[in-house]
Structure 1
Amino acid sequence: MTFCIRAATDADLPFLYEMAKLTGGGFTNLPPDRKALRAKLDRSHEAFARTDGPITDEAFVLVLENTATGEVRGTCQLFTQVGQRHPFYSYRLGTLTQHSAALSRTFRAEMLSLCTDLEGCSEVGGLFLHPGERAGGLGLLLARSRYLFIRQHRARFADRILAELRGVIDESGGSPFWDGLAGRFFAMNFQEADEFNAINGHQFIADLFPKHPIYTAMLTESARAVIGMPHPSGRAAMRMLENEGFAHDSYVDIFDGGPTMTARTSSVRTIREAQTGPLLQLHEEGEEALIATGELAGFRCCLGRARPSAEGVTIDAASAAALQVQTGATVTHVARV
């Protein structure tokens, strides 16, 4: 395996920009705007440079590098505590039950309420894998490397964690959910609103979004049909989140209606099952595993083979090269299955 996860650097900006142009819209954490991406990298550099202090609203940007060519072919992000710099808005899906004695009928109305319930959570997001690399488990490496990073820096992350999945986007780049709800309150289409949000932040949501609950029965059929539904390309990501212990807990994205998945951070499977110990020696035999080492900007993670024992762990030579470690180094590993 010649791929390795590492901290993003300034030299990765051209790669990130080219990947951002391939997302197809609705991908707020990876906007096709050099200035916005530059700001993300600057914020990430600050987070990697801070070595102590309380949990605060930080962002870490990681990239997937082909160590043989030096090309960056994917990226993912971690947010330590959302909603501290700007409000973190979601729609909460609930039910209002009413009974009419005169009609002898009970009515249950589904409602969407604008809320900031998830403020203070950590978030995993910004995952994008180049279309030319969607094989060989690289998506799994990108996704689960974030949990190993959290495990290495547990004090920097909250006790609850969320992941927002992109909602349904039509062939023209529009959002049925946006068109049926929020778009009615803004003089812009979904693509314009999504781009504005990615570059300028969420304040316009607080300024113009309706504050009262919305009865879903009043929405268009096309808007109702996509509430809580992931984009077709995100179904595999949703299954991976479910395998880690995340669940869809009635929250949806205010722009495209995609599901927001949540979990207790310490209960996430990769975080809970990973083991840390000294690297004893190199050997080609072992079970397929994710293997990580280092802290902050020195963090690296790859797919390889690991054979744990009571004294430590043995890994394959290719993984040791990708991680830039020698015997005696401290490594963290978790089974790939």
Structure 2
Amino acid sequence: MTHVIRAARDSDLQPLYEMAKLTGGGFTNLPPDRAALRAKLERSATAFARIEDSKADDLFVLVLENIETGEVRGTCQIFTHVGQNYPFYSYRLGTLTQHSKELGRTFRADMLGLTTDLEGCSEVGGLFLHPGERAGGLGMLLARSRYLFIAQHRMRFADRVLAELRGIIDEAGGSPFWDGLAGRFFGMNFQDADQFNAVRGHQFIADLFPKHPIYIAMLPESARAVIGLPHPSGRAAMRMLENEGFAYENYVDIFDGGPTMLAKTDHVRTIREARTERVVAIDGDGGDPALISKGRLAEFRCTYGELRSREDGVVLTSATAAALGVGAGDSISHVARN
């Protein structure tokens, strides 16, 4: 219980910036740009301050804080509805089948089609854990806290939720997918396009990207080989998403070709299994390990803890109650840690 998830504040700008510099590129939701990060925090503050439980184009930024030191050591983000102000582009992998009677052959061509199919979905993204904290299940805490937040504010979110995983980035910071496809149309390298997208958005895609399907066979092998593959650092994140019920449905990121994972919001395991109950007592007797959250909007906090169930509610350990700032009579949401 040394770490909690909480709403990001203006004072978190510097630690977010320091973490952004560690991402290694291709991480558009956490750009190493102070102005862009400040804009995210301002947008998040507006979302946390909006009390109506209605659908809007909101962004919530959460951070992982070590409550013993006060250091911010991780972050994650939740978008309520993507594509509301600008188109949300993806590539969809498809197949065109044609038959020649003269040759007696059937030809199947794999293709990439530019699409806005996923507009209106909610998105979980921007997850980054400081390299010095990658132990003790803190990455899982960051990831699953987003689902408890969604469960607490279900009316604000769409019926489908997506997660974009970073694609393959080479040792020089380039993207084989970008170089083999989009780079030929834009005349800029991946790093420049990635930075532009992170800071200014990707409306320029609508202006310059080819609207016709791309035959995958016409791409260089280096680009074909990475379509739909996550960055090595994202494989664990992909497994966590799959464990929550997300699946890869042939949508890939238009910049680096990384996979987009999709799930029905109410079918996400943490959301489906979460329970809201009243705290009836606090003691030091231990209990079952759980992911526990309390509070709405800016008061939201989430941590690993221990609880015991009773007919009239739940009993928290004193350490868990202190980390969350709850007392007897308060309501909490929880789900098994496993």
* Pairwise same-fold verdict (TM > 0.5): yes
Partner of 1:184: 184
1: CA distance between counterparts of 2:251 and 2:217? 18
2: CA distance between counterparts of 1:52 and 1:100? 59
Partner of 2:317: 316
Residues 16-95 of structure 1 aligned to structure 2 (within 5 Å): 16-52=16-52, 54-95=54-95
- TM normalised by structure 1 equals 0.99
2: CA distance between counterparts of 1:251 and 1:306? 40
How much does 1:200 deviate?
0.6
Structure 1: tracts of 5 or more residues without a match: none
Q: What residue identity is the alignment partner of 2:214?
A: I
CA deviations over 1:296-328 (Å, ceiling 9, x no partner): 000000011122233211222221111011111
1: CA distance between counterparts of 2:142 and 2:213? 37
Residues 39-188 of structure 1 aligned to structure 2 (within 5 Å): 39-52=39-52, 54-188=54-188
Q: What residue identity is the alignment partner of 1:303?
A: Y
| Percentage identity across paired residues of the two chains | 74
2: CA distance between counterparts of 1:222 and 1:306? 51
Q: What residue identity is the alignment partner of 2:52?
A: D
Partner of 1:306: 307
Partner of 2:198: 198
2: CA distance between counterparts of 1:299 and 1:53? 15
> Is the 2:53–2:153 contact (alpha carbons within 8 Å) kept by the matching residues of 1?
no
2: CA distance between counterparts of 1:235 and 1:308? 35
> Is the 1:306–1:333 contact (alpha carbons within 8 Å) kept by the matching residues of 2?
no
Partner of 1:333: 334
Residues 212-231 of structure 1 aligned to structure 2 (within 5 Å): 212-231=212-231
Tell me, what secondary structure is at the counterpart of 1:102? Answer: coil
How much does 1:53 deviate?
5.3
2: CA distance between counterparts of 1:314 and 1:179? 56
How much does 1:54 deviate?
2.8
2: CA distance between counterparts of 1:178 and 1:9? 35
2: CA distance between counterparts of 1:319 and 1:179? 49
CA deviations over 1:186-242 (Å, ceiling 9, x no partner): 121001000000101111100111100000000010100110000000000000000
2: CA distance between counterparts of 1:53 and 1:206? 32
Partner of 2:286: 285
2: CA distance between counterparts of 1:109 and 1:316? 59
1: CA distance between counterparts of 2:296 and 2:139? 22
> Is the 2:53–2:155 contact (alpha carbons within 8 Å) kept by the matching residues of 1?
no
2: CA distance between counterparts of 1:221 and 1:59? 37
Q: Bigger shift: 64-73 or 49-58?
A: 49-58
Tell me, what secondary structure is at the counterpart of 1:162? Answer: strand
Q: What residue identity is the alignment partner of 1:267?
A: H
The 1:53–1:278 alpha-carbon spacing in structure 2 relative to 1, beyond 3 Å, is: closer
Q: Bigger shift: 275-284 or 116-125?
A: 275-284
Tell me, what secondary structure is at the counterpart of 2:173? Answer: coil
Partner of 2:259: 259
How much does 1:85 deviate?
1.2
How much does 1:46 deviate?
0.4
Structure 2: tracts of 5 or more residues without a match: none
Partner of 1:8: 8
1: CA distance between counterparts of 2:140 and 2:149? 14
CA deviations over 1:145-200 (Å, ceiling 9, x no partner): 00000000000100111000000000110000000000111121001000000101
CA deviations over 1:32-88 (Å, ceiling 9, x no partner): 000000000000000000010531111000000000010000000000000001110
2: CA distance between counterparts of 1:314 and 1:188? 58
How much does 1:285 deviate?
2.0
Tell me, what secondary structure is at the counterpart of 1:229? Answer: coil
